[in-house]
A and B are shown apart, each in its own frame.
Chain A
Amino acid sequence: MAKKKKPMLRIFLIFFVIEVILVFLSGNFNRELEIGFENGKFKIRHVESVFNLQEKITEEFQIDEYYKHHGETPKLWGSEKLYEFFRSIPMDSTPVGSFQLLRMLLIVDIVLLLLALFIRKFLTRRPSKSQILFELIYTSLEEFVTETLGRDKVYYTPYIVTLFLFIWVCNLIGTIPIPGFMEPTRNLNVPLGLGVLAVVIVHASAIKFKGAWHHIQNYVNPKKNPLFLLDIVGEVSKVVSISFRLFGNILGGAIIILVVSSLVSFVVFPVGLNLFFGMFVGTIQAFVFTMLALTYIGVEISE
């Protein structure tokens, strides 16, 4: 058997060696090396690097605050119409953050749609690898639904699978190292919306299966439920707990990646951190969110 060559590994090694040589060429860690062409000639020169971690974190995580202090906003959008539309929404600062968030959400939606079309197109009787992965996701989540809600309520599976896939792709898309890419779940609005939607579905299914008056009595009638005030607070805390868990995990991971990669920015790109905080924590948190939403539904409609 012939020895298998690994061209990718060799390319990575060559780039790593070039990077190390460039790092030691730059000499002083307060300077950055700028490489480019000037007047048709290859040129290397030193640039004094201005580095402020606080500013960088503000730029990454509170981009509206950053541009409010620094004045000019970047031209993110192609057309003036889009810019005027975003300005017309009443906001007290620049619309850059919401624009970035909406753009990332659109990208996630396009990814999910393309995945769905791609998987549908190549459905075969002898499944390929990607088909096995998605069938595994669907059947395992369907199994969870039947364990929790019972076999006759298996029609909750599409909602649960959609929730899982959406949060999963949202968490994984931050690992792509392109400027401007971020996890949409890093913004509190997205997890909060998902949590409110989950609780609304919980109550809608409770009203559907137990009857409206019978369900509302739990929250207004002191004779039937003496601790009804605590139950109302509990419903609000469900939303807060389920959404702040996702938000805090993703935001904390992103800040840790930013801080550590700024410490070692001249040496390596922190692949391991992206692997842990992006992929492992992202998958676990998407799974936990889905399981908690399923458990809330199960607790309400099982009685």
Chain B
Amino acid sequence: MELTLAQGIAKAAALLGAGLCMGMGALGPGVGEGFVAGKACEGIARSPENASLITRTMLVGQAVSESTGIYSLVIALLLIFAVKI
């Protein structure tokens, strides 16, 4: 299909926006999940008998703090597939 210049610019901007959205949106969850995992390691080192409880709580907390990254993923998918030229 042939695109005009304006349509090409719009498509390129949508794709660039999707990449930027995913890259910046992955920063926060990455830092947050790493922080949670580090704290869980400290907790397990301090009290190894609570390891299973700490691991379960860590996984749930990571899944909740991941949600901002998931929102950016949804928006990136919308930009790629749902923007009609």
Contact = CB atoms under 8 A, between A and B. Distances in A.
Contacts of B5: none
A288 interface: yes
Contact of A291 (B60, B70, B77): B60
Contacts of A252: 70, 73, 77
A277 interface: no
Interface residues of B, number: 12
Interface string B43-85: 0000000000000000110011011001101100100010000
Contacts of B77: 251-252, 255
Contact of B81 (A58, A248, A288, A292): A58
Contacts of A248: 67, 70-71, 73-74
A287 interface: yes
Given A57-B81, A58-B81, A251-B77, A285 B63 contact: yes
A244 B74 contact: yes
B63 A247 contact: no
Given A58-B81, A62-B81, A287 B60 contact: yes
Contacts of B81: 57-58, 61-62
Max count, chain A CB within 10 A of own CB: residue among B67, B70, B71: B70
B74 A247 contact: yes
Interface string A273-303: 0000000000011011001100000000000
B14 to A, nearest CB: 14
A288 B74 contact: no
Interface residues of A, number: 19
A241 B71 CA distance: 9
Max count, chain B CB within 10 A of own CB: residue among A61, A241, A248: A248
Contacts of A46: none
B46 to A, nearest CB: 23
Contacts of A249: 66, 70
Contacts of A292: 64
A245 interface: yes
Contact of B70 (A61, A245, A255): A245
Chief secondary structure at chain B's binding surface: helix
Contacts of A287: 60, 63
Max count, chain B CB within 10 A of own CB: residue among A62, A241, A288: A288
Contacts of B73: 248, 252
Contacts of B64: 245, 288, 292
Nearest to A287: B60
Contacts of B59: 284
Interface string A48-62: 000000000110011
Given A58-B81, A62-B81, A244 B70 contact: yes
Given A57-B81, A58-B81, A255-B77, A244 B71 contact: yes
Contacts of A291: 60
Max count, chain A CB within 10 A of own CB: residue among B63, B71, B73, B81: B63
Interface of B: 59-60, 63-64, 66-67, 70-71, 73-74, 77, 81
Given A248-B67, A248-B74, A288-B64, 18 more contacts: A61-B81, A241-B67, A244-B71, A244-B74, A245-B70, A247-B74, A248-B71, A249-B66, A251-B74, A251-B77, A252-B70, A255-B77, A284-B60, A284-B63, A285-B63, A287-B60, A287-B63, A288-B63
